[in-house]
Structure 1
Amino acid sequence: MDETTKNRGKWGNSIEFLMSCIAMNVGLGNIWRFPFVAYENGGGAFLIPYISVLILLGRPMYYLEMCLGQFSSRGNVEMFESIAQVLKGVGFGQLIGTFSVATYYCSLMALTLYYLIHSFRPDLPWSQCDPNWGRDTWLGNNTCIPSKSTEVGVENSVSSAEAWFRIEVLREATDLSHGIGYPNWELTLCLLCSWIITFCICAKGVQSSGKAAYFLAIFPFIILFALLIRSVTLEGAGQGILYFVKPNWEKLLSAQVWYAAVTQCFFSLNIGFGSVTMYASYNSFDHNVYRDAMVVTTLDTFTSFLSGLIIFGILGNLAYKMNVEVSDVVKSGGTGLAFISYPEAIAHFDIVPWLFAILFFFMLFVLGVGSLIALKGCAFTVILDAFPHLKTWHVSFGTALVGFLVGLVYITPGGQFIFTMVDFFGGTFIFYVLTIIEVLSVMWWYGLENICLDIEFMSKKRPGPYWRICWAVIIPIVLITVFVYFIATLEELKYEDQSYPGYIIVWGWALFGVGVMQPLIWWGIEIGKNYKREGVSKAILRTFKHENWGPKEEEFYNNWVEFKRERRQKTATGRHWFKHKLCVLVGK
């Protein structure tokens, strides 16, 4: 075992890893993103592709990434580089996407903290309409309805919760004709506080974040169940829940819906982000990662459905109040559901609504911290793997500082425009393409047989036909097919029916291009390191070799080499190539 391996952190125990994974995956993606994606894609119709994607793509990919991290004891960049140097850039591409998500993720936490602070008031500020809002250009000719009111509204009405969010909190610009503006100083302080808290928890790496994971994973469920009880008892809630569970079969023919299901499933489970691989890399080599993968993916899906029931119960109530259909009840997208519909429900509480507001937004903040720790951890794990002698808290501080500075763009009047653009290009598009490269490289280049033997050696459990067929056949075909069809039918990106200025879209494509070009960039760098000494041909061939792959600890590495040698001798029976591959596929 080399010095780097000895000094690398480990989880205090197996429960810390499980709780950290739950805190990472059960986050704002479930509370904010899943209900909104379902809302955009026909409600109940979205559940069918989502569950299908979870079973055939999400769970197998999550288990695979856990196995890759634990087997190699490396973060995602070093893990890909050890498989083959040409893949090193895949890890860096994932890092760019992860950093993009982390910066806007913390801006959501800043909004949550802002709401939390304003919840310490007997009269919640979003429960009543402010006469001054009538002079704001955003409200226009719409009528404001107090959120705590029980009266049925009229057409062209807006709830006070939505008006407060757009006018008081975001101070949102109606377009980008005058640029994005300057950061809101109040939200800037909230953003700074969010990053400081995250830094403090991550100051000692997994040794400190693992201890906090118990609270980060368990507390949110207590509040979610309380909100569920309140949501289903609101008047009109049944209409919203019915919209959530009743499928629109025509939507199943839309590639957009299937693309949304794949990206939401991968976003919620952090597939392709590098964070699953990173967390698993701190496990002991013989940890039961199979059990944890099953627990986390099941709990993550359960939480998404629970959040969907809560949010659509609230949407049904809003539709009843405003006298409109559920599909038309909220004009805002993205963050709007978390910061409009949930506060709307809290405003209806008859007894101490401020207390429920405090608990809810504290829960939302806790969820954000759990997920942001994992996203931030990807960056400092890459740095510490490359420079193991740096102090963990120095690296943690540096990544937090950069994240804070970049995050300022999202708390400007035009920040939600940028948020939507970065979420599309950096939060979904990059990961989708790199995940295709990842699964093709591991399953069709390194080989299904090799990776299954690696997993069997590590876990003492042989992957069955379900895992093998999903990894080698279903996942590549589905990802490529949906992606090609989505590109062919790609529509103009808009924010609330508003077109983006051309230069913003250029920045979005530039972000995407930089992310997906990382494999080529780092391939060129690796060739450049060796071509003078070895010549171009040998330098290129070196980047395609798997010679550095294997367990990082010497004892496990030697046993692994012997294990694979014995297995290959047993299977070298001279059977036909096609028959051999078919046997590997079904696990025979």
Structure 2
Amino acid sequence: MGDPNESSSKPNSNGKILYTRRDSNMDDVFAPNPPSKPSDWRRTSADFRRALAVRGDSVESERFLTRTLSTDSNDGREKWTRKFDFLLATIGFAVDLGNVWRFPYICYKNGGGAFLIPYLSMVVLGGIPLFYLELSLGQYHRSGCISIWRRICPIMKGVGYAICLMALYVSSYYNTVIAWAVFYLYSSFTSELPWSSCGNEWNDNATCVDQIRAAELNQTWSNTSQSPSEQFFERHVLESYKSEGLHDLGPPKWEIVVCLLIVYVMIYFSLWKGVKSSGKVVWFTATFPYVVLLILLVRGVTLPGAEKGIEFYLKPNWEELLRTSVWLEAATQVFFSLGPGFGTLLALASYNDFHNNCYRDALITSAINCFTSFLAGFVVFSVLGYMAHLLHKEDISEVTTGGVGLLFVVYSQALTTFDGSVFFSIMFYLMIITLGLDSTFGGLEAIVTGVADEFPKSVGKHRELFVLGLLCVSFLLSLSTTTYGGIYMVTLMETYAAGTAIMTVVLLEAIAVSWYYGIDRVSHDIRSMIRSSPGIYWTVCWKYVSPIFLMFMIVMSFVSTPDLSHGSYDFPDWTKGVGWTITMSSLSLVPAYAIYRTVTMRRKRSFRKAARADRPSHADEFM
């Protein structure tokens, strides 16, 4: 008889080679016959690689990896047609409307060029490490945001369900913003942009003032005066003057409902076939915004007064760095721009080839995202400087505003003064639509992949029907944001639907992965994919820095929750209760599932089993 500890390889009944290792106290790690399902092969081989690594059998692990590569690569899971499809989809998700309106505004508001110090610090210490971690987890385990917890920490599977609910909440208002852009696009197909002058049927001629023309004539206007672009948005697109607040939303506005329906139709035909369909769509939606940004940049920097706007954008105010809120703004911008925790990175990476270089992808995507934010600042503030020049203003703050008003009011007004204003308006709002669509594709794909992987027979085999049902639910939830008071719902949901909740979810994910699943396992998983282990910088960030980064953001979000307002409307105190109810409705799924699993597992086995990751019983003996 041979050595009981010897390693051997042998063909199975189908001619495939199985690598087995015998131990004096155990049977073959793999049975002679292969598992019945391809997914079992992948999960089993992944856990056995870890088992060998823990025992120090790195050479054997590499041999095993090579022998099982054909099995791992053909587990029946859909894959990206081209590597570039994945990169474009990831870039499209990370680069969204916030890069165009939020980053330039908060950069200017929080110290100008000095803001880049806290921003880049948060990118390096929190943003990129979490981004890289999620890409590697999704690619290695090839699972969505729900089923992946079976292999990491099963008792935390409620995190996956919470992510899905938050993504549904976000889609209910984010798609309405895209619908507004669709309305603007449709309205742009005229000989003269309809928000360029007063005198239209929606204008209140008592308060509507063409401020640009008034400035040319050295006329003044009162604080109650509104520009034609502001009244077009408030009185024609939203008709918010017909609502008294959240308690009086009114009926849905049919024009916005039609635009919203168009958005959902585009989303459906981009998602229904999985990465095969979305991988084709992103070639346009992810690249077109950069074409438009470059066109607008060239046009913007050649306008009179552009240098004043760029100076306001970049001029450093070092004293601002002493304010804690500036660092919180930087952390929030980085977090919501790169998008860890939304389940999208897990979903997109799960369709990669096993040996795809996710480390390189994380660096490339993060760098492009930061560059886009910085570039958008030049595009926006060159035009704001031009507007200040036209209105004879020295302070840029007098011509700018935060939120979506920067896109739909201020920039719209500037477009009316361009030569070829109709062309630039069409291009601008096409860019806004494509930026929004890319991000909403990613958010909804996180739900679809997560649920389909968790319920492969009932949902995975009927993806088209599930996507249709999901979008119908999201559309119905969105109807409240199409009402006369819809802007108030958008403001409320934007603040509470995914702010504190998503940061808490990512904190739980970081702790579970780094401390329960283990940094050593994560490092080995990455090494098995890209042949290189993450360095000490990454492991320290994952285990210590990123959790601290997230805890800081969560605490500050509780301490500095702002009183909400829109225009002259101040949200009543009871809306805070509604907002925190929305937040807790998703977070409550985490302890709810933990209790459910603990109770059910106690009935079957023991409490310890409830907190153990799924792995083959023989591989457990290695651990």
Q: Distance in 1 between matches of 2:561 and 2:247?
A: 28
Partner of 2:400: 330
Partner of 2:254: 185
Of 298, 304, 319, which aligns to 2:373?
Answer: 304
> Match of 1:143, as an amino acid?
V
Shift of 1:67: 0.3
Of 452, 463, 474, which aligns to 1:403?
Answer: 474
**1:415-564 equivalence runs, <5 A:** 415-496=486-567, 498-534=569-605, 538=606, 540-548=607-615
Shifted more, 373-382 versus 502-511: the winner is: 502-511
Q: Note if 1:364 corresponds to 2:432.
A: yes
**1:83-98 equivalence runs, <5 A:** 83-98=152-167
Report if the CA contact (8 A) 1:127-1:147 is conserved: no
Report if the CA contact (8 A) 1:127-1:148 is conserved: no
Q: Distance in 2 between matches of 1:269 and 1:161?
A: 32
Q: Distance in 2 between matches of 1:548 and 1:260?
A: 41
Q: Distance in 2 between matches of 1:152 and 1:70?
A: 62
**1:89-488 equivalence runs, <5 A:** 89-130=158-199, 135=204, 143-145=209-211, 154=220, 156=223, 157-173=225-241, 175-176=244-245, 179-324=248-393, 325-331=395-401, 333-350=402-419, 352-389=420-457, 390-488=461-559
Shift of 1:214: 1.4
Shift of 1:492: 2.7
> Match of 1:546, as an amino acid?
A
Shifted more, 385-394 versus 217-226: the winner is: 385-394
Shift of 1:142: 6.7
> Match of 1:326, as an amino acid?
I
Q: 1:343 to 1:493 in 2, by over 3 A?
A: closer
> Match of 2:518, as an amino acid?
G
Q: 1:199 to 1:252 in 2, by over 3 A?
A: same
Shift of 1:315: 1.9
> Match of 1:545, as an amino acid?
R
Query: Where in structure 2 are there 5+ consecutive unaligned residues?
Result: 1-34, 40-74
Partner of 1:576: none
Q: Distance in 2 between matches of 1:252 and 1:428?
A: 23
Report if the CA contact (8 A) 1:180-1:413 is conserved: yes
Secondary structure class of the residue paired with 2:146? helix
Q: Distance in 2 between matches of 1:197 and 1:434?
A: 30
Larger radius of gyration: 2
Report if the CA contact (8 A) 2:246-2:489 is conserved: no
Q: 1:298 to 1:19 in 2, by over 3 A?
A: same
Q: Distance in 2 between matches of 1:307 and 1:375?
A: 23
Q: 1:159 to 1:520 in 2, by over 3 A?
A: same
Report if the CA contact (8 A) 1:39-1:327 is conserved: no
Q: Distance in 1 between matches of 2:590 and 2:398?
A: 43
Q: 1:205 to 1:130 in 2, by over 3 A?
A: same
Q: Distance in 1 between matches of 2:177 and 2:120?
A: 27
Shift of 1:226: 0.4
Shift of 1:24: 1.6
> Match of 1:227, as an amino acid?
L
Shift of 1:482: 4.0
Partner of 1:22: 91
Q: Percent identity?
A: 34
> Match of 2:211, as an amino acid?
I
Report if the CA contact (8 A) 2:309-2:386 is conserved: yes
Q: Distance in 2 between matches of 1:24 and 1:200?
A: 17
Shift of 1:481: 2.8
Q: 1:488 to 1:187 in 2, by over 3 A?
A: closer
Query: Where in structure 1 are there 5+ consecutive unaligned residues?
Result: 550-556, 569-588
Shift of 1:519: 1.3
Report Cα offsets for 1:468-511 as digits up to 9, x if no partner.
22222221222223432443344433334643123322221001
Partner of 1:13: 82
Report Cα offsets for 1:172-191 as digits up to 9, x if no partner.
23741751222211010000
Q: 1:246 to 1:421 in 2, by over 3 A?
A: same
Q: TM-score, normalised by structure 2?
A: 0.82
Shift of 1:135: 3.2
Q: Distance in 2 between matches of 1:473 and 1:356?
A: 47
Q: Distance in 2 between matches of 1:343 and 1:414?
A: 22
Q: Distance in 1 between matches of 2:154 and 2:238?
A: 45
Shifted more, 422-431 versus 105-114: the winner is: 422-431
Q: Distance in 1 between matches of 2:218 and 2:108?
A: 22
Q: 1:214 to 1:195 in 2, by over 3 A?
A: same
Secondary structure class of the residue paired with 2:547? helix
Q: Distance in 2 between matches of 1:470 and 1:177?
A: 42
Q: Distance in 2 between matches of 1:177 and 1:518?
A: 27
Secondary structure class of the residue paired with 1:391? helix
Shift of 1:287: 0.9
Q: Distance in 2 between matches of 1:26 and 1:77?
A: 25
> Match of 1:124, as an amino acid?
L
Q: 1:463 to 1:151 in 2, by over 3 A?
A: farther
Shift of 1:545: 1.3
Shift of 1:131: 5.9
Shifted more, 477-486 versus 364-373: the winner is: 477-486
Report if the CA contact (8 A) 1:314-1:344 is conserved: no
Q: 1:240 to 1:151 in 2, by over 3 A?
A: farther
